Amino acid sequence: MAVLLIGSTAFAQEESPSKFKLYGFIRNYMVADSRAVNAGTEDLYFYMPKDISMTDGYDANAGFNWRFVSLTSRLGLDVSGYKWGRMGVSGKVEADFYNLSGSVPILRLRQAFMKLTFDESPISFTIGQAWHPMAADMPHMNNLETGAPFNPFNRSPQLTMDLDLGGGFSLTASLLYLNHYLPTGPAGKSKDYYKYGLPEAYMGVTYKNGKFLAKAGVDAVNMRPYRTIADWRIQDGSNKTIEVKSLLSTVSPFVFLQYTSGMFQLRAKSILAQGGEHLNLLSGYGVHSFNSDGTITYTPMRDWASFVSFQYGKKFQVMGMLGYMKQLGTTQDLTDNLLWMNSSADTKIQQAFRATPTVAWNLGKFTVSLEYNLTAGEFGEGNRDSRGMYSASHWVMNHRFICMTKFNF
């Protein structure tokens, strides 16, 4: 009995209890567009305007449309304070009303992760579903897509290590698994392309000193679009089904800069993506060659996406973003014009820009904002060339007006 009492006392001294904080907000959007758009979540998550669709001299995608919804209202729980010896454990569970079942919103998991820290150690670990390291720093705006497709947008299950190097520098390394944001391919949108590939990997460095913050990193993806090919014709003329072990390998570097002085903040980010669908960019990939040994050589579409944004004020805020993206063609020639592009928007978009001047009033925990969103896309015409680009094109523009109200609690 004495031994048990001593053991329980030691256990109590090693372990400290958790602290819980419930948070969230009620958010409403009223949105109006000058034409039909490619968008998700009751058209709140806006990608691009739809292309011109002429029927008897009438553009079927032209014309005013609007919606008023309370989707994306959010609930979250922060857990902190728990310690086991020298190890501290904190965490977050966060959900919102997002996906639709008919016309009824349902609760969706946004984030669910734990963070491990150790006394007097420069290393910490994040385990679970959290923001992708390339998507965590977003432009200043109050719309739902927060800059996509000009800014990476992704939350994924991950194992992330952060290492404090001293002198304002830190290193981040992650292994990630695709979950919510699916690439398209031979079988349509599917996570199987990643499931039978290799983990997504990220490596980056951060520098923070006073008013300045800078990040640079690279994201690497290896996925398998084809698992098998049926009726493969080999040299002796017979047909059979073979396993395809070829991987599509992509590398996407990015840089991010931030300057803060008082109530003013400036941000800029640029990414040169290859096959960046998993980051909600308007990119993709294709087939360069089907080889006689059953292997496949893939070629990713290169996509350059950038933004610059600012914010000034506290009670009354002005903010805005300028975004630009351009497809640069595949890295190698395509075969049989086999190219799969992000199907969340029109796959013919070659380049686009966006401007979002915004004003917001913050009255304690209540916020109301007005945003004007000007987005224009260049749509290709005719057939793609060997690198997936078009020789002719036309521009389509959309004017979006957003009124948002939000009550934080």
Let me know if residue 93 belongs to a domain.
yes
Let me know if residue 224 belongs to a domain.
yes
Let me know if residue 242 belongs to a domain.
yes
**What digits encode the pLDDT tens for the residues 176-235?**
998 888 888 998 888 889 888 899 999 999 999 999 999 999 999 999 998 887 765 555
Asked if the peptide bond before residue 199 counts as cis, ω within 30 degrees of 0, the response is no
Let me know if residue 175 belongs to a domain.
yes
Query: Does the pTM of the predicted model rise above 0.95?
Result: no
Q: What is the DSSP letter of 103?
A: T
Q: How many structural domains are present in the chain?
A: 1
- Is-contact 258 210, C-beta < 8 A? no
Let me know if residue 9 belongs to a domain.
no
Structural domain for 95, as ranges:
17-408
Let me know if residue 3 belongs to a domain.
no
Q: How much is the pLDDT for 236?
A: 54
**127 half-sphere exposure, CB direction, 13 A CA radius:** 8
Let me know if residue 10 belongs to a domain.
no
What is the residue-wise DSSP string for 40-101?
Answer: ETTTTEEEEEPPP-EETTEETTEEEEEEEE-TT-EEEEEEEEEEETTEEEEEEEEEEEEEEE
Q: How much is the pLDDT for 235?
A: 52
Query: Could you give the percent of the chain with pLDDT greater than 90?
Result: 79
We report the CATH number of the domain holding residue 289 as 2.40.160.10
**What digits encode the pLDDT tens for the residues 61-99?**
999 999 998 888 999 999 999 999 999 999 999 999 876
Let me know if residue 8 belongs to a domain.
no
